[in-house]
Chains A and B, each alone.
Chain A
Amino acid sequence: MTRGPTLFNRISVFLGLGFLYAPIVLLVVYSFNASRLVTVWGGFSTKWYAALLKDQQMLDAIWITVRLGLISATAATVLGTLAAVALVRSGRFRGRTLFTGMLQAPLVLPEVILGLSLLLLFVAMGLQRGFWTVAVSHATMTLCYATVVIQARLVSFDRALEEAAQDLGCPPIRAFFLVTLPGIAPAVAAAWMLAFTLSLDDLVIASFTAGPGSTTLPMRIYSQVRLGVNPEINAVSTLLIAIVTLGVGIATLVQRRPKGVPRG
């Protein structure tokens, strides 16, 4: 860039980011507010975090949500890797158009529709709704995101590397594990994280597909929020934001290549 940003550019960026971050910052700040009222600053306090630790229902919801995220993200990443390999490496195969359609539709479709359709499936199958129905639903939704992330990396992955491995005596599947997988590992990790975060975040699909005893954290938050602003929710939200920020930060550092080194 020979020309720097103009004043207008700077103001746009400042206002835009301010708009994006102000509510989050306020939320975080007020999670440390001793007063229950939003507009009154009653001094710094961590009492809402302490209250959180005593709220067994909230802790149960957190535990369920984390387990859900771990399981559904892992399933989605495995399936997404397979799907990405099929899309990038198999050329034109029978059913490819349908396959791509099924992989892309959930990315844009309203969650309400996905949730409703999955619920109807579980009802039709006569399945008791609970932890596993949510896990399957989340894996289905996040599998599409995982595929997109891995596919993008796989497309730019030099196919000659796989061929070289085969040329040196590796059967194709072994070549995939020895050469391709290490090459796309950052994308696989990013896909897993994305899937985990989406699962952690989902309210709508979980509401449709969860049963008694599988109330997730967003469902818990939602039911509390409907009753109004609650400092305890501020605290749990702040914790979630901190965890996600930390995770994204670490992921960015890991993925960043060492400077000044040509690409291999």
Chain B
Amino acid sequence: MKRFSLTAVLPFVWLAAFFLFPFLLVAKLSLSEVALAIPPYQPRLDLSQGLNGLSAFAQGLDLETYARLRTDHLYVAAYLSSLKFAVVSTVILLLVGYPLAYGMARSGAETRRTLMMAVILPFWTSFLIRVYAWIAILKPEGLLNAALSSLGLPTLSLLNTDAAVYIGLVYAYLPFMVLPLYAVLERQDESQLEAAADLGCTPIQAFWRVTFPQSLPGVAAGALLCFIPMVGEFVIPDLLGGSGTLMLGKVIWTEFFANRDWPAASAVAIVMLATLIIPTLLYQRQQARMVDGR
């Protein structure tokens, strides 16, 4: 084993300074208390007092903010509701994304390339703009209701409801679900389906017994790739959701910018992080396995 890699030094130092160290700051802040000061928390580490400063700092830290999170109904509700939004959206994404990815994989080689581009392109266009586009559709005097009333159907009031948040989440994360699914489905050998048919499977049986089991790594990758960032989503619940829509990303934002309760924002971030560690590790293992399998 080499002692260290020379090329890694610069990016390593950069990431340590701007990614790892800030995380430790979040962790530290979550153990601090709110104060009417700038910055609005205490204790603050005062190194000019030497060891005394350090011990005073250490004694100032406590778990009070976390206790506050546990007892405050709002935080608990936001936590559970975030998970609910993420889980339900992931399931809907699978139901929407799988047929799309499957259809893409079954198309001819030329068409496949074009379809692939078509799915990636929205990913390159601004997330914010794509979410914004839905406001014009969903608002009470928007395009959806205009279409419905012209058909003589009752209108819906979707904007600023949970339903709008689900639509937004599914819409924004669809490429993230489709691409891993497509990657595994596209690799499948057509002759396997012929073999299954030869052995007496109807096309639908062949799908469930041959294609679907082989696509499970893609299902797992897609689900995790969508679930993890959705838990912390801010823009979609903020723009499409109502005042009653509770999500952790929104809570952090509000605590931070509106209430200036930095310790609470940090503690919520830490709790969210702790929740996401396991899915993240699962995702990384999945990725490593897919790379090895190639």
- Chain A residues within 8 Å of B, Cβ to Cβ: 1-6, 8-13, 15-17, 19-21, 23-24, 26-27, 30, 37-39, 79-80, 82-83, 85-87, 89-96, 98-99, 102-106, 108-114, 116-118, 120-121, 123-124, 136-137, 139-140, 143, 147, 197, 200-201, 203-204, 208, 218, 221-222, 225-226, 228-229, 233, 237, 240-241, 244-245, 247-248, 252
B212 on interface, CB distance cutoff 8 Å: no
B8 interface neighbour in A90, A113, A197, A228, Cβ under 8 Å:
A90
Tell me whether A233 and B18 are in contact in the complex, defined as CB-CB below 8 angstroms, given that A9-B103, A17-B118, A110-B231 are known contacts.
no
Which residues of chain A have C-beta atoms less than 8 A from B60's C-beta? none
Which residues of chain B have C-beta atoms less than 8 A from A201's C-beta? 126-128
Which residues of chain A have C-beta atoms less than 8 A from B154's C-beta? none
- Bound CA–CA A85/B9 (angstroms): 11
Which residues of chain B have C-beta atoms less than 8 A from A4's C-beta? 106-108
Q: B residues 114-150 with Cβ under 8 Å of A?
A: 115, 117-122, 124-130, 132-137, 139, 141-143, 146
Per-residue contact bits, chain B 210-229, to A (CB 8 Å; 1 contact, 0 not)? 00000000000000110011
- Bound CA–CA A252/B124 (angstroms): 13
B73 on interface, CB distance cutoff 8 Å: no
Contact A27 B133, beta carbon cutoff 8 Å: yes
Which residues of chain B have C-beta atoms less than 8 A from A237's C-beta? 126, 129, 132-133
- Chain B residues within 8 Å of A, Cβ to Cβ: 1-5, 7-8, 10-12, 14-16, 18-23, 25-26, 29, 39, 96-97, 99-100, 102-104, 106-109, 115, 117-122, 124-130, 132-137, 139, 141-143, 146, 171, 174-175, 178, 190, 193-194, 224-225, 228-229, 231-235, 239, 248-249, 252-253, 256, 262, 265-266, 269, 272-273, 276, 280, 283-284
Residue in B19, B115, B265 whose Cβ sees the most chain A Cβ within 10 Å: B19
Contact B2 A86, beta carbon cutoff 8 Å: no
Contact A86 B21, beta carbon cutoff 8 Å: no
Contact A112 B232, beta carbon cutoff 8 Å: yes
Tell me whether A83 and B11 are in contact in the complex, defined as CB-CB below 8 angstroms, given that A10-B103, A26-B133, A90-B2 are known contacts.
yes
Q: Closest residue to A121 on the B side, CB-wise?
A: B22
Some 28 contacts from A to B, beta carbons below 8 A apart, are A1-B109, A9-B102, A12-B102, A16-B96, A19-B96, A23-B137, A26-B143, A82-B10, A90-B8, A93-B4, A94-B3, A102-B12, A108-B276, A112-B232, A112-B249, A113-B232, A113-B252, A114-B19, A116-B269, A120-B29, A140-B15, A143-B11, A201-B127, A203-B127, A228-B135, A233-B132, A240-B125, A245-B124
Contact A102 B19, beta carbon cutoff 8 Å: yes
Contact A83 B225, beta carbon cutoff 8 Å: no
Contact A12 B100, beta carbon cutoff 8 Å: yes
Contact B100 A13, beta carbon cutoff 8 Å: yes
Contact B132 A16, beta carbon cutoff 8 Å: no
- Bound CA–CA A69/B49 (angstroms): 42
Which residues of chain B have C-beta atoms less than 8 A from A143's C-beta? 11, 14-15
Contact B234 A117, beta carbon cutoff 8 Å: no
Nearest-neighbour CB distance to chain B for A161, whole angstroms, equals 18
Q: Closest residue to B235 on the A side, CB-wise?
A: A203
- Bound CA–CA A205/B45 (angstroms): 26
Nearest-neighbour CB distance to chain A for B68, whole angstroms, equals 18
Contact B100 A117, beta carbon cutoff 8 Å: no
Which residues of chain A have C-beta atoms less than 8 A from B136's C-beta? 26-27, 30, 38, 229
Contact A86 B7, beta carbon cutoff 8 Å: yes
Contact A19 B174, beta carbon cutoff 8 Å: yes
Which residues of chain B have C-beta atoms less than 8 A from A225's C-beta? 128, 132, 135, 239
Q: Closest residue to B280 on the A side, CB-wise?
A: A108
Contact A23 B128, beta carbon cutoff 8 Å: no
Which residues of chain B have C-beta atoms less than 8 A from A80's C-beta? 11
Closest 9 CB pairs of A and B: A110-B232, A16-B100, A86-B8, A117-B22, A90-B5, A12-B99, A23-B133, A9-B103, A13-B103
Which residues of chain B have C-beta atoms less than 8 A from A19's C-beta? 96, 171, 174
- Bound CA–CA A85/B108 (angstroms): 36
- Bound CA–CA A8/B102 (angstroms): 10
Residue in A12, A80, A222 whose Cβ sees the most chain B Cβ within 10 Å: A12
Which residues of chain B have C-beta atoms less than 8 A from A1's C-beta? 106-109, 190
